[in-house]
Amino acid sequence: MSSVKNVINDSYKLMLLKDYLREAIKEAGFSGVDIQKTPTGTRVGLHVTRPGIVIGRKGSGIRDLTKVLETDFGLKNPQISVIEITKPELEPSVMCNRMSQHLARGTAFRRAVMWTMQTIMEAGAMGVQITTSGKLRGDRSSFEKHSKGVLPRAGHQATVIVSEDIVHVPTKMGLIGVRIRIARKERFIPEFELKAIQKETKQKVEEIPQEIEIVEETQIDPTKPRTESEVIELEEKLIEKVETFEEVEEELK
């Protein structure tokens, strides 16, 4: 088999693996997977928001997932490591999954879009763009694009700062496509930077971890949702209060 066919075959298997993991560990907030082939086997890194759900009781979830990856996807001696996502609101794949669940439950797509944009910007994003396409309001297919903040669209900054993901939601009218692009501030690379500013930022960075440890020890929220379904149920009550452009226009008339 030629090298080109090997690349195509590996990309196709990776796509099937991502589709499987997106449904299998949906409650854990699946974001992405990293695969590295080693002489002893295959290293599989799972990026999730709730590692406990993937691991299971006494590692039962990891063992079951290892068997599936080895038998169904042909990975040799898979070694799974679970990586926790600290800010799920800044991950396009996580927000795509949450928005798709809102649309599947019958939430109006514009309310879901406004709520998702508001959540992403409040988490500290530099900019966000959400594109929805399909049979949104009638028999004819259409698309809408909503953006907020600063979002580079070309050049080196766009490839480094912006990350995106796409998901398709089955509804009664048909499939609805959702594409979310998020620009993160911490990935911004300034062209010119003074040495004095660098020293100040280094001092601030050294002070931050101590403050974070104190907050995590003192502020423990037992009512925090444990799964993605619980997050969706809490968000549905808040989405009803979100105002759309149509409601604002009717109030001004």
Confidence grade of residue 247 (pLDDT, cut at 50, 70, 90): low
Q: Which residue has the higher pLDDT, 248 or 61?
A: 61
Asked if CATH classification 3.30.930.10 holds for the domain at 88-245, the reply, yes or no, is: no
Rounded to whole angstroms, the Cα distance separating 16 from 19 reads: 5
Q: Which segment of 120-124, 143-147, 175-179, 208-212 scores lowest on mean pLDDT?
A: 208-212
CATH topology of domain 3-84: GMP Synthetase; Chain A, domain 3 (3.30.300)
Element housing 133 (H / E): strand 125-134
Rounded to a whole number of angstroms, the distance between the first and last alpha carbons of the chain is 67
pLDDT per residue over 181-195, tens digit each?
999 887 776 654 545
pLDDT of residue 243: 67
Query: Same CATH topology for 3-84 and 88-245?
Result: no
Mean pLDDT to the nearest integer, 20-45: 87
User: Cβ contacts of residue 46 below 8 Å, gap of 6+?
Assistant: 21, 25, 30, 33, 54, 80, 81, 82, 83
Domain locations in the chain as residue ranges: 3-84, 88-245
What is the pTM assigned to this prediction? 0.73
CA dihedral (27, 28, 31, 37) positive or negative? negative
Eight-state DSSP code of residue 77: S
What percent of the chain shows pLDDT beyond 90?
13
Does residue 166 surpass a pLDDT of 60? yes
Does residue 105 surpass a pLDDT of 70? yes
Does residue 115 surpass a pLDDT of 70? yes
Does residue 179 surpass a pLDDT of 60? yes
pLDDT per residue over 116-163, tens digit each?
999 999 988 999 999 999 988 877 888 899 999 888 888 877 888 899
pLDDT per residue over 45-101, tens digit each?
999 888 888 888 888 888 889 898 888 888 888 888 888 888 889 999 999 989 988
Strands 78-84 and 162-170: unpaired
Partners of 129 in beta bridges: 147, 181
Confidence grade of residue 237 (pLDDT, cut at 50, 70, 90): confident
Three-state secondary structure string covering 196-246: HHHHHHHHHHHHHHHHHHHHHHHCCCCCCCCCHHHHHHHHHHHHCCCCCHH
Confidence grade of residue 216 (pLDDT, cut at 50, 70, 90): very low
